[in-house]
């Protein structure tokens, strides 16, 4: 670059009729151009002559320029220094692309049901309910990796805990508004149970409530099951805004009549966002309703699930995040809390999946899934249906737990 600078200066000097003094050495050249042309360009020595430019030798051997040539030399040098040596200069760094901003802003309304999922024409909670929230842009929880690692300690892949076998999954039944009430005796947690209201043939007592259970209400695992024996009944009367969900755990029908015994009972108004009191359990350990989180065949057949799914993990901490209201007793903060919301990562490629499994995975990217109970890790729950394709659902077993991330939906509370 220095030699190019000198050539340009000589050409400018020739055209101006100036007599440029030879530069003595490479050291002098660098010093002359760097010392004065750059650093002292605003204070170059001037003479009284205006018709001709002269050069003066100073004792130190530095080159001093006068009159118009000094200005020309300075400008030429600056120009070349700014343009480079003629070779390609290093490109400017590309601007960093803007990153999408996560947002947990609430959407919907507590009185709007226009896009809510439905069962027998009943809306399943308002559009602002967290079960129905699109969490695809929610912020990732800073403890996400820790929670995922803790869940992975027991099992490491997704699993559909439902299928075509009627004993595999959690069944439910829909009844009309006129369904007769029967007595349900709560023999373990009456203080955390909803009792309903008295009606024809049923009277609420201090330990028993009135639920519209039909004689043939399906029991999880079948009538002889020794498992959780959940019983779910939806009383559907949307014409009169009556869509009420009744759920019990460890439900057993009396042998001699239509009454039932259960560990506890919970009632949910599907037109409302109201939660159970903090510290209260439900038919689920988390205090959540079960039916809203089930994968249902009719939704998948229609091509879209519009809500979060329920799933279990082997161990949870003594904390919960709303809409959950109840927790387990472990003091280990590395364990997930009840109500924790997970999302299938946007980066996880689901293009190779098909059929029913693809619909479920698509929903897990948009609505995610919620920790609802203790059980086998990564088991998502659905209602049994003879139309489920079990081979199709087996595709879910290829999805690793590492494909999920935890999102922020609220603060952890303790009971």
pLDDT for position 168: 96
Continuous H helices in 136-260: 144-152
pTM recorded for the entire structure: 0.77
pLDDT for position 11: 53
pLDDT band at 105 (very low <50, low <70, confident <90, very high): confident
The 10s digit of each residue's pLDDT in 341-357 is 999 999 999 999 999 99
Whole-number average pLDDT of the chain: 84
CB atoms under 10 Å from CB of 386, counted, come to: 9
The 10s digit of each residue's pLDDT in 22-73 is 433 333 333 333 433 333 333 333 333 333 333 333 434 333 334 444 444 4
pLDDT band at 102 (very low <50, low <70, confident <90, very high): very high
Does residue 74 or residue 332 have the better pLDDT? 332
pLDDT for position 29: 34
Q: Residues with Cβ < 8 Å from 45, sequence gap 6 or more? A: 56, 64, 65, 66, 70
The 10s digit of each residue's pLDDT in 131-174 is 999 999 999 999 999 999 999 999 999 999 999 999 999 999 99
Residue ranges covered by each domain of the chain: 2-83, 118-407
With a cut of 50, say whether residue 20 has pLDDT above it.
no
Q: Which two tokens stand for residue 295?
A: 């994968």
pLDDT for position 228: 97
Q: What is the spatial distance between Cα 333 and Cα 335, in angstroms, rounded to a whole number? A: 5
Q: Residues with Cβ < 8 Å from 85, sequence gap 6 or more? A: 1, 4
């Amino acid at each position: 670059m220095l030699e190019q600078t000198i050539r340009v200066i000589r050409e400018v000097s020739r055209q101006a009729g100036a007599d440029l003094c030879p530069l003595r050495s490479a050291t002098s050249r660098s010093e002359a151009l760097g010392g004065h042309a750059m650093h002292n360009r605003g204070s170059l020595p001037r003479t009284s002559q205006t018709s001709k430019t002269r050069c003066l030798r100073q004792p130190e051997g530095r080159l001093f320029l006068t009159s118009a040539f000094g200005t020309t030399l300075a400008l030429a040098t600056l120009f070349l220094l700014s343009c480079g040596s003629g070779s390609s200069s290093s490109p400017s760094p590309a601007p960093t692309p803007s990153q999408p901003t996560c947002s947990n802003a609430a959407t919907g309304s507590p009185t709007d049901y226009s896009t809510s999922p439905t069962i027998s024409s009943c809306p399943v909670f308002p559009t602002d309910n967290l079960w129905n929230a699109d969490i695809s842009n929610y912020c990732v929880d800073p403890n996400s990796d820790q929670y995922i690692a803790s869940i992975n300690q027991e099992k490491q892949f997704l699993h559909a805990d439902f299928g075509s076998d009627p004993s595999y999954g959690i069944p439910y039944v829909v009844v009309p508004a006129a369904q007769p009430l029967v007595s349900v005796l709560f023999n373990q947690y009456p203080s955390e149970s909803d009792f309903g209201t008295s009606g024809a043939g049923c009277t609420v007592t201090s330990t028993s409530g009135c639920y519209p259970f039909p004689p043939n209400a399906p029991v999880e695992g079948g009538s002889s099951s020794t498992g959780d024996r959940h019983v779910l009944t939806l009383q559907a009367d949307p014409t009169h805004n009556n869509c009420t969900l009744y759920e019990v755990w460890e439900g057993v029908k009396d042998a001699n009549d239509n009454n039932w015994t259960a560990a506890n009972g919970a009632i949910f108004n599907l037109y409302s966002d109201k939660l159970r009191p903090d510290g209260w359990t439900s038919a689920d350990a988390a205090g959540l309703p079960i039916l809203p989180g089930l994968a249902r065949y009719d939704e998948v057949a229609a091509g879209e699930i519009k809500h979060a799914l329920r799933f279990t993990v082997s161990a949870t901490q003594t904390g919960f995040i709303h809409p959950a209201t109840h927790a387990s007793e472990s003091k280990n903060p590395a364990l997930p809390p009840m109500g924790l919301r997970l999302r299938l990562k946007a980066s996880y490629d689901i293009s190779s999946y098909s059929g029913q499994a693809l619909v479920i995975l698509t929903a897990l990217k948009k609505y995610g899934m919620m920790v609802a109970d203790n059980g086998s890790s990564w088991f998502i729950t659905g209602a049994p249906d003879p139309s489920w394709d079990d081979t199709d659902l087996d595709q879910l077993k290829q999805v690793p737990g590492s494909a999920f991330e935890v999102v922020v939906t609220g603060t952890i509370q303790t009971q």
